[in-house]
Chains A and B, each alone.
Chain A
Protein backbone atom coordinates (compact mmCIF):
# COMPACT_ATOMS: atom_id res chain seq x y z
CA UNK A 1 0.00 0.00 0.00
CA UNK A 2 2.68 2.41 -1.03
CA UNK A 3 0.04 4.89 -2.09
CA UNK A 4 -1.40 4.93 1.38
CA UNK A 5 1.96 5.56 3.03
CA UNK A 6 2.75 8.45 0.73
CA UNK A 7 -0.63 9.89 1.54
CA UNK A 8 0.04 9.56 5.27
CA UNK A 9 3.43 11.21 5.09
CA UNK A 10 2.11 14.11 3.09
CA UNK A 11 -0.57 14.63 5.73
CA UNK A 12 -2.84 16.16 3.13
CA UNK A 13 -6.17 15.27 1.74
CA UNK A 14 -8.80 16.97 -0.23
CA UNK A 15 -11.24 18.82 2.00
CA UNK A 16 -12.66 20.44 -1.11
CA UNK A 17 -14.73 17.29 -1.61
CA UNK A 18 -16.44 17.75 1.77
CA UNK A 19 -19.84 19.42 1.93
CA UNK A 20 -22.00 20.63 4.80
CA UNK A 21 -25.37 19.25 3.81
CA UNK A 22 -28.78 19.68 5.43
CA UNK A 23 -29.74 16.01 5.72
CA UNK A 24 -33.16 14.59 6.45
CA UNK A 25 -33.54 11.56 8.69
CA UNK A 26 -35.38 8.83 6.80
CA UNK A 27 -35.28 5.95 9.26
CA UNK A 28 -34.23 4.88 12.73
CA UNK A 29 -33.83 1.17 13.21
CA UNK A 30 -33.52 0.06 16.84
CA UNK A 31 -31.25 -2.95 17.27
CA UNK A 32 -30.22 -4.99 20.28
CA UNK A 33 -29.45 -3.16 23.50
CA UNK A 34 -28.48 0.45 22.86
CA UNK A 35 -27.49 -0.17 19.24
CA UNK A 36 -29.31 1.40 16.32
CA UNK A 37 -28.93 2.36 12.69
CA UNK A 38 -29.88 5.85 11.55
CA UNK A 39 -30.40 6.74 7.90
CA UNK A 40 -30.44 10.12 6.23
CA UNK A 41 -31.16 11.47 2.81
CA UNK A 42 -28.01 13.42 1.90
CA UNK A 43 -27.46 13.10 -1.86
CA UNK A 44 -24.31 15.23 -2.05
CA UNK A 45 -22.50 13.27 0.63
CA UNK A 46 -23.91 9.92 -0.51
CA UNK A 47 -22.40 10.48 -3.94
CA UNK A 48 -18.93 11.17 -2.52
CA UNK A 49 -18.56 8.90 0.51
CA UNK A 50 -15.96 6.15 0.33
CA UNK A 51 -15.63 3.22 2.77
CA UNK A 52 -13.82 4.16 5.97
CA UNK A 53 -14.46 7.87 5.59
CA UNK A 54 -16.62 9.62 8.15
CA UNK A 55 -19.10 12.42 8.59
CA UNK A 56 -19.58 14.99 11.35
CA UNK A 57 -23.22 15.15 12.41
CA UNK A 58 -24.45 18.36 14.01
CA UNK A 59 -26.83 16.66 16.39
CA UNK A 60 -28.30 19.82 17.88
CA UNK A 61 -27.57 23.40 16.87
CA UNK A 62 -28.06 24.46 20.48
CA UNK A 63 -24.89 24.73 22.52
CA UNK A 64 -25.33 21.30 24.15
CA UNK A 65 -23.82 19.13 22.90
CA UNK A 66 -21.45 21.69 21.44
CA UNK A 67 -19.43 19.67 18.98
CA UNK A 68 -20.52 17.57 16.05
CA UNK A 69 -20.19 13.83 16.36
CA UNK A 70 -17.99 11.83 13.98
CA UNK A 71 -19.29 8.53 12.59
CA UNK A 72 -18.05 6.27 9.80
CA UNK A 73 -20.42 5.63 6.94
CA UNK A 74 -22.08 2.21 7.19
CA UNK A 75 -23.88 2.72 3.93
CA UNK A 76 -23.78 5.27 1.17
CA UNK A 77 -25.80 4.95 -1.99
CA UNK A 78 -25.36 7.55 -4.68
CA UNK A 79 -28.44 6.27 -6.52
CA UNK A 80 -30.89 6.88 -3.71
CA UNK A 81 -28.91 9.61 -1.96
CA UNK A 82 -29.01 7.66 1.29
CA UNK A 83 -26.34 7.42 3.98
CA UNK A 84 -26.54 5.37 7.17
CA UNK A 85 -24.61 5.07 10.42
CA UNK A 86 -24.42 2.15 12.89
CA UNK A 87 -24.25 3.51 16.43
CA UNK A 88 -24.58 2.82 20.12
CA UNK A 89 -26.38 5.34 22.30
CA UNK A 90 -23.57 5.87 24.79
CA UNK A 91 -22.99 9.61 24.95
CA UNK A 92 -24.98 12.81 24.74
CA UNK A 93 -24.71 13.03 20.96
CA UNK A 94 -25.60 9.44 20.12
CA UNK A 95 -28.47 9.42 22.64
CA UNK A 96 -29.98 12.44 20.93
CA UNK A 97 -29.54 10.82 17.54
CA UNK A 98 -31.38 7.78 18.86
CA UNK A 99 -34.37 10.05 19.53
CA UNK A 100 -34.39 11.37 15.94
CA UNK A 101 -37.54 10.61 13.98
CA UNK A 102 -38.03 10.45 10.20
CA UNK A 103 -38.27 14.00 8.89
CA UNK A 104 -35.90 15.46 11.49
CA UNK A 105 -33.04 17.43 9.97
CA UNK A 106 -29.35 17.73 10.80
CA UNK A 107 -26.42 19.39 9.10
CA UNK A 108 -23.88 16.74 8.18
CA UNK A 109 -20.33 17.56 7.11
CA UNK A 110 -18.62 14.99 4.97
CA UNK A 111 -17.09 12.98 3.67
CA UNK A 112 -13.99 13.53 5.82
CA UNK A 113 -10.74 11.70 6.47
CA UNK A 114 -8.91 8.92 4.74
CA UNK A 115 -10.85 5.75 4.00
CA UNK A 116 -9.80 2.20 3.21
CA UNK A 117 -7.59 1.60 0.17
CA UNK A 118 -9.48 -0.39 -2.43
CA UNK A 119 -7.31 -2.92 -4.29
CA UNK A 120 -6.44 -2.39 -7.92
CA UNK A 121 -6.60 -6.11 -8.64
CA UNK A 122 -9.09 -8.44 -6.96
CA UNK A 123 -7.82 -10.82 -4.32
CA UNK A 124 -8.85 -12.09 -0.91
CA UNK A 125 -9.60 -9.77 2.01
CA UNK A 126 -10.52 -10.25 5.65
CA UNK A 127 -12.73 -7.73 7.40
CA UNK A 128 -12.08 -7.89 11.13
CA UNK A 129 -14.50 -6.09 13.42
CA UNK A 130 -14.94 -5.77 17.15
CA UNK A 131 -18.33 -4.59 18.43
CA UNK A 132 -19.23 -1.21 16.96
CA UNK A 133 -16.16 -1.58 14.75
CA UNK A 134 -18.47 -3.31 12.29
CA UNK A 135 -19.78 0.14 11.35
CA UNK A 136 -17.73 0.82 8.17
CA UNK A 137 -17.80 -2.75 6.86
CA UNK A 138 -21.18 -2.99 5.09
CA UNK A 139 -20.08 -0.19 2.76
CA UNK A 140 -16.55 -1.57 2.44
CA UNK A 141 -17.85 -5.07 1.70
CA UNK A 142 -20.18 -3.75 -0.99
CA UNK A 143 -17.43 -1.76 -2.71
CA UNK A 144 -14.92 -4.62 -2.48
CA UNK A 145 -17.41 -7.11 -3.89
CA UNK A 146 -18.10 -4.79 -6.78
CA UNK A 147 -14.40 -5.14 -7.62
CA UNK A 148 -14.56 -8.92 -7.48
CA UNK A 149 -12.84 -9.26 -4.11
CA UNK A 150 -13.30 -12.49 -2.18
CA UNK A 151 -14.26 -11.74 1.44
CA UNK A 152 -14.20 -13.25 4.88
CA UNK A 153 -15.76 -11.22 7.71
CA UNK A 154 -14.47 -12.02 11.18
CA UNK A 155 -17.06 -10.40 13.39
CA UNK A 156 -16.45 -10.32 17.14
CA UNK A 157 -18.02 -8.77 20.21
CA UNK A 158 -17.95 -9.15 23.97
CA UNK A 159 -21.35 -10.80 23.92
CA UNK A 160 -23.97 -11.80 21.34
CA UNK A 161 -26.03 -8.61 21.64
CA UNK A 162 -22.99 -6.63 20.49
CA UNK A 163 -22.64 -8.48 17.18
CA UNK A 164 -23.57 -6.74 13.96
CA UNK A 165 -27.07 -8.02 13.05
CA UNK A 166 -27.11 -10.98 10.64
CA UNK A 167 -29.85 -9.55 8.46
CA UNK A 168 -27.86 -6.33 7.87
CA UNK A 169 -24.71 -8.09 6.68
CA UNK A 170 -24.34 -7.60 2.92
CA UNK A 171 -25.05 -10.73 0.86
CA UNK A 172 -22.39 -12.65 -0.97
CA UNK A 173 -19.63 -12.55 1.66
CA UNK A 174 -17.77 -15.86 1.24
CA UNK A 175 -17.36 -16.66 4.89
CA UNK A 176 -18.65 -15.07 8.07
CA UNK A 177 -16.94 -16.02 11.33
CA UNK A 178 -18.68 -15.01 14.55
CA UNK A 179 -16.87 -14.83 17.88
CA UNK A 180 -17.92 -13.68 21.32
CA UNK A 181 -15.70 -13.36 24.33
CA UNK A 182 -18.33 -14.96 26.58
CA UNK A 183 -19.21 -17.67 24.09
CA UNK A 184 -22.85 -16.60 23.90
CA UNK A 185 -22.69 -16.93 20.12
CA UNK A 186 -20.19 -18.35 17.63
CA UNK A 187 -16.69 -19.32 18.70
CA UNK A 188 -15.49 -18.39 22.17
CA UNK A 189 -12.67 -15.90 21.99
CA UNK A 190 -11.40 -12.79 20.31
CA UNK A 191 -11.16 -11.89 16.64
CA UNK A 192 -7.48 -12.81 16.49
CA UNK A 193 -8.51 -16.44 17.16
CA UNK A 194 -10.71 -16.26 14.09
CA UNK A 195 -8.09 -14.53 11.96
CA UNK A 196 -5.09 -16.75 12.75
CA UNK A 197 -6.19 -19.90 10.85
CA UNK A 198 -7.22 -17.79 7.86
CA UNK A 199 -4.13 -15.59 7.49
CA UNK A 200 -2.54 -17.70 4.76
CA UNK A 201 -3.76 -16.71 1.38
CA UNK A 202 -5.06 -13.28 2.44
CA UNK A 203 -3.98 -10.28 0.41
CA UNK A 204 -5.47 -7.69 2.73
CA UNK A 205 -6.83 -7.27 6.24
CA UNK A 206 -9.14 -4.40 7.13
CA UNK A 207 -9.80 -3.94 10.85
CA UNK A 208 -11.98 -1.69 12.96
CA UNK A 209 -12.65 -1.88 16.69
CA UNK A 210 -11.07 -0.94 20.02
CA UNK A 211 -7.41 0.12 19.84
CA UNK A 212 -6.32 -2.91 21.86
CA UNK A 213 -7.95 -5.19 19.29
CA UNK A 214 -6.43 -3.27 16.38
CA UNK A 215 -2.97 -3.56 17.91
CA UNK A 216 -3.44 -7.31 18.34
CA UNK A 217 -4.63 -7.73 14.76
CA UNK A 218 -1.82 -5.60 13.32
CA UNK A 219 0.71 -7.56 15.38
CA UNK A 220 -0.69 -10.88 14.30
CA UNK A 221 -0.76 -9.94 10.63
CA UNK A 222 2.84 -8.69 10.77
CA UNK A 223 4.02 -12.16 11.85
CA UNK A 224 2.55 -13.89 8.78
CA UNK A 225 4.83 -14.68 5.84
CA UNK A 226 4.05 -13.24 3.43
CA UNK A 227 2.23 -10.65 5.52
CA UNK A 228 -0.95 -9.30 3.99
CA UNK A 229 -1.42 -5.54 3.90
CA UNK A 230 -3.32 -4.32 6.95
CA UNK A 231 -5.34 -1.17 7.38
CA UNK A 232 -7.01 -0.19 10.63
CA UNK A 233 -9.66 2.41 11.42
CA UNK A 234 -8.63 4.28 14.57
CA UNK A 235 -10.86 6.22 16.92
CA UNK A 236 -9.79 9.32 18.84
CA UNK A 237 -11.68 12.09 20.65
CA UNK A 238 -12.37 14.52 17.84
CA UNK A 239 -13.33 18.18 17.85
CA UNK A 240 -13.65 19.56 14.34
CA UNK A 241 -12.96 16.55 12.10
CA UNK A 242 -11.02 18.54 9.52
CA UNK A 243 -7.65 19.29 11.05
CA UNK A 244 -7.87 22.64 12.80
CA UNK A 245 -8.55 21.87 16.48
CA UNK A 246 -5.60 19.43 16.69
CA UNK A 247 -7.55 17.48 19.31
CA UNK A 248 -7.42 13.99 17.79
CA UNK A 249 -3.67 13.41 17.99
CA UNK A 250 -2.49 9.82 17.51
CA UNK A 251 1.11 8.58 17.72
CA UNK A 252 2.64 7.54 14.40
CA UNK A 253 6.04 6.01 13.84
CA UNK A 254 8.81 8.43 12.93
CA UNK A 255 9.77 9.38 9.46
CA UNK A 256 13.11 10.19 7.92
CA UNK A 257 16.35 9.49 9.71
CA UNK A 258 15.07 10.07 13.20
CA UNK A 259 13.56 6.92 14.60
CA UNK A 260 11.01 8.53 16.84
CA UNK A 261 7.27 8.69 16.93
CA UNK A 262 5.32 11.79 16.11
CA UNK A 263 1.75 12.81 16.62
CA UNK A 264 -0.53 12.77 13.62
CA UNK A 265 -4.16 13.73 13.34
CA UNK A 266 -6.74 10.98 13.27
CA UNK A 267 -9.16 13.14 11.29
CA UNK A 268 -6.77 14.04 8.47
CA UNK A 269 -4.21 11.25 8.21
CA UNK A 270 -6.78 8.72 9.40
CA UNK A 271 -9.11 7.43 10.57
CA UNK A 272 -7.90 4.58 8.34
CA UNK A 273 -4.14 4.04 8.49
CA UNK A 274 -1.76 1.26 7.53
CA UNK A 275 -1.06 -0.81 10.65
CA UNK A 276 2.65 -0.34 10.16
CA UNK A 277 2.66 3.44 10.61
CA UNK A 278 1.03 3.46 14.04
CA UNK A 279 3.11 3.58 17.22
CA UNK A 280 1.01 0.92 18.95
CA UNK A 281 2.96 0.93 22.18
CA UNK A 282 2.41 4.63 22.69
CA UNK A 283 -1.20 4.50 21.50
CA UNK A 284 -2.06 1.82 24.06
CA UNK A 285 -0.47 3.86 26.86
CA UNK A 286 -3.00 6.60 26.28
CA UNK A 287 -6.01 6.59 28.54
CA UNK A 288 -9.11 5.21 26.89
CA UNK A 289 -11.47 7.68 25.28
CA UNK A 290 -13.09 9.50 28.16
CA UNK A 291 -15.92 11.95 28.43
Chain B
Protein backbone atom coordinates (compact mmCIF):
# COMPACT_ATOMS: atom_id res chain seq x y z
CA UNK B 1 0.00 0.00 0.00
CA UNK B 2 1.51 3.31 -1.03
CA UNK B 3 1.61 6.14 1.51
CA UNK B 4 -0.81 8.20 -0.57
CA UNK B 5 -3.50 5.54 -0.26
CA UNK B 6 -3.14 5.29 3.52
CA UNK B 7 -5.96 7.03 5.33
CA UNK B 8 -5.10 10.52 6.49
CA UNK B 9 -5.10 10.93 10.26
CA UNK B 10 -5.50 14.56 11.40
CA UNK B 11 -5.57 13.76 15.11
CA UNK B 12 -3.01 15.15 17.49
CA UNK B 13 -2.27 13.93 21.01
CA UNK B 14 -1.50 16.73 23.48
CA UNK B 15 -0.91 14.31 26.35
CA UNK B 16 -2.88 12.96 29.31
CA UNK B 17 -5.56 11.62 27.00
CA UNK B 18 -6.34 14.90 25.30
CA UNK B 19 -6.56 14.01 21.62
CA UNK B 20 -7.72 16.72 19.24
CA UNK B 21 -9.58 15.64 16.10
CA UNK B 22 -7.44 18.05 14.13
CA UNK B 23 -4.51 20.31 15.03
CA UNK B 24 -6.17 23.65 14.28
CA UNK B 25 -7.41 25.56 17.32
CA UNK B 26 -8.04 29.17 18.21
CA UNK B 27 -5.73 31.25 20.37
CA UNK B 28 -6.55 32.69 23.76
CA UNK B 29 -7.71 36.27 23.63
CA UNK B 30 -8.94 36.04 20.06
CA UNK B 31 -12.06 33.98 20.61
CA UNK B 32 -13.50 35.11 23.94
CA UNK B 33 -14.99 32.11 25.71
CA UNK B 34 -16.38 30.81 22.44
CA UNK B 35 -19.91 32.11 22.79
CA UNK B 36 -19.69 34.72 20.04
CA UNK B 37 -18.34 32.22 17.53
CA UNK B 38 -21.03 29.69 18.36
CA UNK B 39 -23.54 32.19 16.99
CA UNK B 40 -21.41 33.65 14.24
CA UNK B 41 -19.44 30.93 12.50
CA UNK B 42 -19.77 27.71 14.49
CA UNK B 43 -17.06 25.79 16.36
CA UNK B 44 -17.51 22.18 15.24
CA UNK B 45 -14.58 22.37 12.80
CA UNK B 46 -12.01 23.23 15.51
CA UNK B 47 -9.54 20.93 17.21
CA UNK B 48 -9.98 22.90 20.43
CA UNK B 49 -10.73 26.32 21.85
CA UNK B 50 -8.24 28.12 24.10
CA UNK B 51 -10.28 30.54 26.21
CA UNK B 52 -9.64 34.13 27.13
CA UNK B 53 -7.20 34.44 30.04
CA UNK B 54 -8.93 33.78 33.34
CA UNK B 55 -7.88 35.16 36.72
CA UNK B 56 -9.05 34.48 40.31
CA UNK B 57 -11.16 37.64 40.46
CA UNK B 58 -12.94 39.58 37.72
CA UNK B 59 -10.72 42.09 35.93
CA UNK B 60 -12.04 45.14 34.17
CA UNK B 61 -8.95 45.40 31.99
CA UNK B 62 -6.96 48.41 30.91
CA UNK B 63 -8.28 51.88 30.09
CA UNK B 64 -8.96 52.54 26.40
CA UNK B 65 -7.62 52.84 23.81
CA UNK B 66 -6.63 49.20 23.94
CA UNK B 67 -5.80 48.34 20.35
CA UNK B 68 -3.90 49.95 17.52
CA UNK B 69 -3.39 48.69 14.00
CA UNK B 70 0.15 48.49 12.62
CA UNK B 71 1.56 47.31 9.30
CA UNK B 72 0.20 43.77 8.85
CA UNK B 73 -0.41 43.57 12.57
CA UNK B 74 -2.09 44.98 15.60
CA UNK B 75 -1.08 45.96 19.10
CA UNK B 76 -3.27 45.18 22.05
CA UNK B 77 -3.24 46.12 25.67
CA UNK B 78 -6.46 44.62 26.96
CA UNK B 79 -5.15 43.89 30.43
CA UNK B 80 -6.76 40.48 30.92
CA UNK B 81 -10.36 41.66 31.05
CA UNK B 82 -12.31 38.60 32.21
CA UNK B 83 -15.21 37.76 34.53
CA UNK B 84 -13.07 35.77 36.98
CA UNK B 85 -12.80 32.03 37.50
CA UNK B 86 -16.02 31.71 39.49
CA UNK B 87 -18.15 32.80 36.53
CA UNK B 88 -16.11 30.64 34.19
CA UNK B 89 -16.50 27.58 36.43
CA UNK B 90 -20.15 28.12 37.30
CA UNK B 91 -21.63 29.55 34.09
CA UNK B 92 -19.33 28.73 31.18
CA UNK B 93 -18.00 25.24 31.89
CA UNK B 94 -21.48 23.61 31.93
CA UNK B 95 -22.15 25.12 28.50
CA UNK B 96 -18.79 23.91 27.18
CA UNK B 97 -19.62 20.41 28.40
CA UNK B 98 -22.35 20.33 25.74
CA UNK B 99 -19.96 21.27 22.93
CA UNK B 100 -18.46 18.73 20.52
CA UNK B 101 -14.90 20.05 20.94
CA UNK B 102 -12.62 20.49 23.96
CA UNK B 103 -12.14 23.86 25.66
CA UNK B 104 -8.86 24.56 27.44
CA UNK B 105 -8.98 27.43 29.88
CA UNK B 106 -6.16 29.93 29.62
CA UNK B 107 -5.14 30.78 33.19
CA UNK B 108 -3.37 33.92 34.33
CA UNK B 109 -2.33 35.25 37.70
CA UNK B 110 -0.15 37.75 39.50
CA UNK B 111 1.70 35.11 41.50
CA UNK B 112 1.96 31.33 41.86
CA UNK B 113 -0.85 31.23 44.42
CA UNK B 114 -3.24 32.90 42.00
CA UNK B 115 -2.45 30.42 39.22
CA UNK B 116 -3.00 27.51 41.59
CA UNK B 117 -6.25 29.01 42.91
CA UNK B 118 -7.71 29.28 39.42
CA UNK B 119 -6.58 25.82 38.36
CA UNK B 120 -7.94 24.18 41.51
CA UNK B 121 -11.34 25.77 40.92
CA UNK B 122 -11.39 24.38 37.37
CA UNK B 123 -10.01 20.94 38.21
CA UNK B 124 -12.51 18.16 37.69
CA UNK B 125 -15.21 20.30 36.07
CA UNK B 126 -17.11 18.87 33.15
CA UNK B 127 -16.44 21.13 30.19
CA UNK B 128 -12.85 21.97 31.13
CA UNK B 129 -10.62 19.77 28.99
CA UNK B 130 -7.31 21.26 30.03
CA UNK B 131 -5.34 24.26 31.15
CA UNK B 132 -3.20 26.63 29.14
CA UNK B 133 -0.94 28.41 31.58
CA UNK B 134 -0.42 31.99 30.47
CA UNK B 135 2.93 32.84 31.97
CA UNK B 136 3.52 35.42 29.29
CA UNK B 137 0.95 38.21 29.29
CA UNK B 138 2.75 41.43 28.37
CA UNK B 139 -0.07 43.71 29.51
CA UNK B 140 -0.27 43.24 33.26
CA UNK B 141 2.26 44.09 35.91
CA UNK B 142 4.54 41.08 36.55
CA UNK B 143 2.79 39.23 33.72
CA UNK B 144 6.02 38.58 31.89
CA UNK B 145 8.15 37.69 34.89
CA UNK B 146 7.27 34.02 34.90
CA UNK B 147 8.03 33.66 31.24
CA UNK B 148 11.39 35.40 31.17
CA UNK B 149 13.18 33.60 33.96
CA UNK B 150 13.39 29.81 33.55
CA UNK B 151 13.52 29.16 37.29
CA UNK B 152 10.38 31.22 37.98
CA UNK B 153 8.59 29.60 35.03
CA UNK B 154 9.46 26.15 36.34
CA UNK B 155 8.27 26.93 39.88
CA UNK B 156 4.94 28.20 38.58
CA UNK B 157 4.43 25.18 36.32
CA UNK B 158 5.47 22.73 39.04
CA UNK B 159 3.02 24.25 41.53
CA UNK B 160 0.16 24.03 39.04
CA UNK B 161 1.22 20.53 37.97
CA UNK B 162 0.98 19.40 41.59
CA UNK B 163 -2.57 20.76 41.88
CA UNK B 164 -4.23 19.14 38.86
CA UNK B 165 -4.20 16.11 36.61
CA UNK B 166 -5.70 18.11 33.75
CA UNK B 167 -3.66 18.35 30.55
CA UNK B 168 -1.31 21.28 31.10
CA UNK B 169 -0.17 23.44 28.20
CA UNK B 170 2.24 26.29 28.95
CA UNK B 171 2.21 29.38 26.75
CA UNK B 172 5.59 31.00 26.31
CA UNK B 173 6.59 34.58 25.66
CA UNK B 174 8.86 35.42 22.72
CA UNK B 175 10.18 38.41 24.66
CA UNK B 176 13.07 36.46 26.16
CA UNK B 177 16.75 36.00 25.53
CA UNK B 178 16.53 32.25 25.06
CA UNK B 179 13.10 30.69 24.58
CA UNK B 180 14.65 27.21 24.39
CA UNK B 181 15.88 27.49 27.95
CA UNK B 182 12.41 28.43 29.22
CA UNK B 183 10.85 25.64 27.14
CA UNK B 184 13.16 23.03 28.70
CA UNK B 185 12.43 24.38 32.17
CA UNK B 186 8.65 24.08 31.82
CA UNK B 187 8.93 20.64 30.21
CA UNK B 188 11.04 19.46 33.15
CA UNK B 189 8.49 20.99 35.55
CA UNK B 190 5.72 18.84 34.14
CA UNK B 191 4.14 20.64 31.18
CA UNK B 192 2.32 18.33 28.77
CA UNK B 193 2.67 20.69 25.82
CA UNK B 194 3.95 24.15 24.94
CA UNK B 195 2.20 26.98 23.12
CA UNK B 196 4.66 29.21 21.28
CA UNK B 197 4.33 32.12 21.09
CA UNK B 198 2.43 34.89 22.82
CA UNK B 199 2.57 38.44 21.42
CA UNK B 200 5.74 40.41 20.81
CA UNK B 201 6.22 43.62 22.76
CA UNK B 202 5.59 46.56 20.44
CA UNK B 203 4.76 50.24 20.42
CA UNK B 204 3.02 52.60 18.02
CA UNK B 205 3.62 56.33 18.05
CA UNK B 206 1.11 59.02 17.19
CA UNK B 207 3.10 61.85 15.65
CA UNK B 208 0.25 64.33 16.04
CA UNK B 209 0.25 64.11 19.82
CA UNK B 210 3.89 63.00 20.02
CA UNK B 211 3.11 60.13 22.32
CA UNK B 212 2.38 56.41 22.07
CA UNK B 213 -1.10 55.49 20.86
CA UNK B 214 -1.66 53.04 23.72
CA UNK B 215 -1.91 54.40 27.27
CA UNK B 216 0.27 53.59 30.25
CA UNK B 217 3.80 52.76 29.21
CA UNK B 218 2.60 52.89 25.62
CA UNK B 219 3.54 49.36 24.66
CA UNK B 220 1.33 46.41 23.89
CA UNK B 221 1.42 42.95 22.39
CA UNK B 222 2.00 42.73 18.65
CA UNK B 223 0.14 40.04 16.73
CA UNK B 224 -0.93 39.31 13.18
CA UNK B 225 0.90 38.39 9.96
CA UNK B 226 3.75 40.76 10.85
CA UNK B 227 5.02 38.37 13.54
CA UNK B 228 4.82 35.10 11.59
CA UNK B 229 8.52 34.85 10.62
CA UNK B 230 9.61 35.55 14.20
CA UNK B 231 7.06 33.07 15.57
CA UNK B 232 8.29 30.38 13.18
CA UNK B 233 11.86 30.95 14.35
CA UNK B 234 10.74 30.65 17.97
CA UNK B 235 8.79 27.44 17.25
CA UNK B 236 11.83 25.83 15.65
CA UNK B 237 13.94 26.70 18.68
CA UNK B 238 11.34 25.26 21.04
CA UNK B 239 10.93 22.17 18.84
CA UNK B 240 14.64 21.45 19.06
CA UNK B 241 14.63 21.96 22.84
CA UNK B 242 11.75 19.72 23.98
CA UNK B 243 10.08 16.39 23.26
CA UNK B 244 6.53 17.35 24.28
CA UNK B 245 4.03 18.63 21.68
CA UNK B 246 4.47 22.19 20.47
CA UNK B 247 1.51 24.35 19.48
CA UNK B 248 2.61 27.02 17.02
CA UNK B 249 1.04 30.48 17.18
CA UNK B 250 1.82 33.71 15.40
CA UNK B 251 0.20 35.38 12.42
CA UNK B 252 -1.56 32.34 11.01
CA UNK B 253 -4.29 33.59 8.67
CA UNK B 254 -4.33 31.02 5.87
CA UNK B 255 -3.95 27.27 5.47
CA UNK B 256 -0.47 27.82 4.00
CA UNK B 257 0.56 29.68 7.14
CA UNK B 258 -0.59 26.77 9.30
CA UNK B 259 1.22 24.25 7.12
CA UNK B 260 4.44 26.27 7.43
CA UNK B 261 4.24 25.84 11.21
CA UNK B 262 3.98 22.06 10.76
CA UNK B 263 7.16 22.23 8.66
CA UNK B 264 8.77 24.18 11.51
CA UNK B 265 7.99 21.36 13.92
CA UNK B 266 4.64 22.36 15.39
CA UNK B 267 2.32 19.47 16.26
CA UNK B 268 -0.69 21.78 16.34
CA UNK B 269 -1.42 25.44 15.70
CA UNK B 270 -3.63 28.20 17.00
CA UNK B 271 -5.28 30.79 14.80
CA UNK B 272 -5.24 34.15 16.56
CA UNK B 273 -5.66 37.65 15.20
CA UNK B 274 -7.12 36.33 11.94
CA UNK B 275 -10.26 35.53 13.95
CA UNK B 276 -10.79 39.27 14.30
CA UNK B 277 -10.83 40.24 10.65
CA UNK B 278 -12.32 36.98 9.46
CA UNK B 279 -14.61 35.04 11.79
CA UNK B 280 -14.52 32.24 9.23
CA UNK B 281 -10.69 32.10 9.25
CA UNK B 282 -10.30 28.95 11.36
CA UNK B 283 -12.95 27.16 9.32
CA UNK B 284 -11.23 28.11 6.07
CA UNK B 285 -7.84 27.08 7.47
CA UNK B 286 -9.06 23.65 8.59
CA UNK B 287 -10.63 23.01 5.19
CA UNK B 288 -7.52 24.26 3.38
CA UNK B 289 -5.13 22.14 5.46
CA UNK B 290 -7.18 18.99 4.96
CA UNK B 291 -7.38 19.71 1.24
CA UNK B 292 -3.59 20.06 1.02
CA UNK B 293 -3.08 16.90 3.06
CA UNK B 294 -5.17 14.90 0.61
CA UNK B 295 -3.57 16.47 -2.46
CA UNK B 296 -0.08 15.84 -1.12
CA UNK B 297 -0.92 12.32 0.02
CA UNK B 298 0.03 12.94 3.65
CA UNK B 299 -0.68 10.42 6.37
CA UNK B 300 -0.29 12.98 9.12
CA UNK B 301 0.47 16.69 9.20
CA UNK B 302 3.74 15.84 10.91
CA UNK B 303 4.89 14.32 7.59
CA UNK B 304 5.55 17.93 6.62
CA UNK B 305 8.18 18.42 9.31
CA UNK B 306 11.54 19.69 8.09
CA UNK B 307 13.89 16.69 8.05
CA UNK B 308 16.56 18.66 9.87
CA UNK B 309 14.32 18.60 12.98
CA UNK B 310 14.28 14.82 13.09
CA UNK B 311 11.18 12.64 13.07
CA UNK B 312 8.19 13.47 15.29
CA UNK B 313 8.52 12.14 18.81
CA UNK B 314 12.30 11.85 18.55
CA UNK B 315 13.20 15.43 19.37
Contacts and interface: CB of A to CB of B under 8 A. Distances in A.
B37 A287 contact: no
A243 B36 contact: yes
Interface string B21-49: 00000000111100011011100000000
A15 B40 CA distance: 6
B276 interface: yes
A247 B66 contact: yes
A156 to B, nearest CB: 24
Given A63-B226, A66-B225, A249-B61, A242 B213 contact: no
Contacts of A109: 279
30 contacts: A18-B40, A20-B278, A20-B280, A63-B73, A66-B70, A66-B73, A66-B224, A236-B64, A237-B64, A240-B279, A242-B40, A243-B36, A244-B37, A245-B67, A246-B32, A246-B61, A246-B78, A247-B65, A247-B78, A249-B64, A263-B64, A286-B65, A287-B65, A290-B65, A290-B208, A290-B209, A290-B213, A291-B69, A291-B204, A291-B213
Interface residues of B, number: 44
A290 B61 CA distance: 19
A249 B63 CA distance: 8
A245 B30 CA distance: 6
B71 A64 contact: yes
B69 A243 contact: no
B195 interface: no
Q: Which size bracket describes the interface of A in this complex?
A: 35 or more
Contacts of A245: 29-30, 67, 76, 78, 276
A243 B30 CA distance: 10
Interface in A260-291: 262-263, 286-287, 289-291
B65 A16 contact: no
A48 to B, nearest CB: 14
A63 B224 contact: yes
A66 B66 contact: no
B30 A244 contact: yes
B81 interface: yes
Nearest to A288: B209
A250 interface: yes
A286 B69 CA distance: 18
Interface of A: 14-16, 18, 20, 58, 63-68, 92, 107, 109, 236-237, 239-240, 242-250, 262-263, 286-287, 289-291
B65 to A, nearest CB: 5
A240 B39 contact: no
Contacts of B206: 290-291
B40 A246 contact: no
A64 B74 CA distance: 11
B74 A239 contact: yes
B270 interface: no
A147 to B, nearest CB: 29
A237 B209 contact: no
Contacts of A237: 64-68
Nearest to A285: B63
B275 interface: yes
Given A64-B71, A109-B279, A289-B65, A249 B81 contact: yes
B165 interface: no
A262 B76 contact: no
A191 B21 CA distance: 58
B95 to A, nearest CB: 13
A109 B76 CA distance: 22
Contacts of B72: 63-64, 66
A66 B213 CA distance: 17
A165 B48 CA distance: 50
Contact of A262 (B29, B32, B60): B60
Contacts of B209: 287, 290
Given A15-B39, A237-B64, A290-B68, A66 B74 contact: yes
